[in-house]
Structure 1
Amino acid sequence: MGKDSKSKEAKGKGKQAGGGSDESASKGKGKAGKGDVLGTCTYVKARHILCEKQGKINEAYKKLQDGWLSNGDKVPPAEFAKVAQEYSECPSGKKGGDLGWFPRGKMAGPFQEVAFNTVIGATSAPFKSTHGYHIILCEGRKN
């Protein structure tokens, strides 16, 4: 239990990529429903950047860091969309990485875990899934 959240936080370098520990859940804020904490909502609205190579996703993350993440981990969706259009290798990249609203259970493994445990308005640290390397911007959550 404790091992998962510690190892993911260490690997992810960002506090939003944590694995849903009580500590990260208590930091949830924004448009979440009453009583909703990180990881417990039914739907998430997100954007993402997907790259096959780790070096390319790190380059995209650095661009976000240099422009916005150094100012409190908040990247405006329009700015994230510009970086997604430039770097993402997913078809959604043409739409600024917009995935719209998706329910719990639709996305696989680590992608779902990070998406449902990232604070609204925050950007995850780069992470790996079976599809490649991702960065997620959480735009909303609802039940």
Structure 2
Amino acid sequence: MGKDSTAKEPSGKGKGKQAAAGGEENASKGKGKGGKAADGLGTCTYVKARHILCEKQGKINEAYKKLQDGWLNNGDKVPPAEFAKIAAEYSECPSGKKGGDLGWFPRGKMAGPFQDVAFSTAVGATSAPFKSTHGYHIILSEGRKN
């Protein structure tokens, strides 16, 4: 499938910023289909997430810098309420008005790299910026269930 090559882009960039958020080590564990079950990521049926969507890479990088300066550079997790404030300020998606809240969604509902990152980001962790066909995203994983 073509999804695998685009899914590696977020962790393949190697900026190291995602590791601070706890996402890079989890993303690397989930590369192979067999490896996802070992860490519990990728085995769930539903994910609860928030996101920030921007058309321009520069704007998503500004939002990510705010997340880094406030929490990620200190090794902290971004509180959902604080992520919601940044999503309301930066996101160009209609969900931005709701703090980027996408609620619970099943595997197969979101396309390509978005689904891959959403289902491979640990609960409480924030992904590094990544590109999809809709623009540039940052995801905050809030929950998982089967």
TM-score by length of 2: 0.81
2:70 aligned with 1:67? yes
- Show the counterpart of 1:93: 96
How far apart are the structure 1 equivalents of 2:134 and 2:51?
A: 12
CA contact (8 A) 1:44 1:141 kept: yes
- Show the counterpart of 2:144: 141
How far apart are the structure 2 equivalents of 1:137 and 1:90?
A: 15
How far apart are the structure 1 equivalents of 2:45 and 2:132?
A: 21
The CA deviation at 1:26 is 8.1
| Superimposed CA distance per residue, residues 58-105 of structure 1 (whole angstroms, 9 cap, x where no aligned partner) | 000000000011122510000000000000000000000000000000
Other structure's SS at 1:100 match: strand
2:66 aligned with 1:56? no
Q: How does 1:1-143 map to 2 (within 5 A)?
A: 8-11=10-13, 13=15, 14-15=18-19, 16=23, 18=27, 20-21=30-31, 37-143=40-146
Distance 1:129 1:121, change over 3 A: same
The CA deviation at 1:40 is 1.2
Q: Which runs of 5+ in 2 are unaligned?
A: none
Aligned length: 132
Poorly superposed stretches of 4+, deviation over 6 Å: none
The CA deviation at 1:12 is 5.7
TM-score by length of 1: 0.83
The CA deviation at 1:121 is 0.3
The CA deviation at 1:7 is 5.7
Aligned-residue RMSD, C-alpha: 2.3
Q: Which runs of 5+ in 1 are unaligned?
A: 29-36
How far apart are the structure 2 equivalents of 1:74 and 1:115?
A: 16
